[in-house]
Amino acid sequence: MSDLIPLYRHPQPHRELARRWQSVARQPGFFTSLIVSTLFLMVGWFVNYFAIEFATDRASNSVTDIVLSNIPVFEVDALFVYGTFAFAMLMFGIGLMHPKRIPFGFKAVALFWIIRSVFVSLTHLAPFEAQYASDFGPVINDMFFGGDLFFSAHTGMPFLGALVFWREKGIRTICLLGSVFFAIVVLLGHVHYTIDVLSAFFITYGIFHIAEWLFPKDRAMFLADEAKSV
């Protein structure tokens, strides 16, 4: 029954967390899947990084937008950057609470990055002309304010989390709210065009189902009884 008790409500959360890791470690193939998924995640990150550099170096001209052309630019770069790190840490922590979730989670994120990199590399629009100038420095600016516009990862990634955790109402709600939050933030900051935001939901939905098709064993392990609650 301890598997069904959320970790934060468990009388001895540290012992329960250790037990979960020990339990999953005894399953054949878990560590192989964990290593493969970690390597796949690293590959996805590097592909995404170079796609951003490629698109940014080749950015051409900005275009008009039905939303951005009619609203002023707001200073939301702190929400955009710090919110991203906070959300990423939250989701990583949720994954660690049930190690069975990690392989499929990593592979889904890596697949998201790789597919998005393909889209980013195809068309090289410049950011909207009234974009707010960030002062976070060159590293953060390259990562968050480059020419990788289509489609919005800040909108799509939380939505991917909602789809992955759809059976868990609390996490699903947090992810859906996060997706809407970042969609609003990137539009207010003129970081993404409206089409980047709207398309993110549809493309991410497709990516999720591709991940389920490509990694059925990892998805089955993710949905095993022990992963019913945080």
pLDDT per residue over 103-115, tens digit each?
A: 999 999 999 999 9
**Two structure tokens written together for 151:** 């489609």
> Which pTM was predicted?
0.88
Q: Which residue intervals of the chain are DSSP H helices?
A: 13-25, 30-57, 77-97, 102-122, 138-144, 153-164, 169-188, 194-214, 216-222
Q: Grade residue 227 by pLDDT with cuts at 50, 70 and 90.
A: very low
User: What is the C-alpha to C-alpha distance for residues 130 and 126, in angstroms, rounded to an integer?
Assistant: 11
CB 111 within 8 A of CB 210: yes
Domain segments of the chain as ranges:
2-228
Which sign, positive or negative, has the C-alpha torsion 51, 57, 60, 62? positive
Q: Is the pLDDT of residue 64 over 50?
A: yes
What's the Rg (C-alpha) of the chain?
Answer: 19
Give dist(CA 195, CA 189) in Å, integer: 15
> What percent of the chain is predicted at pLDDT more than 70?
87
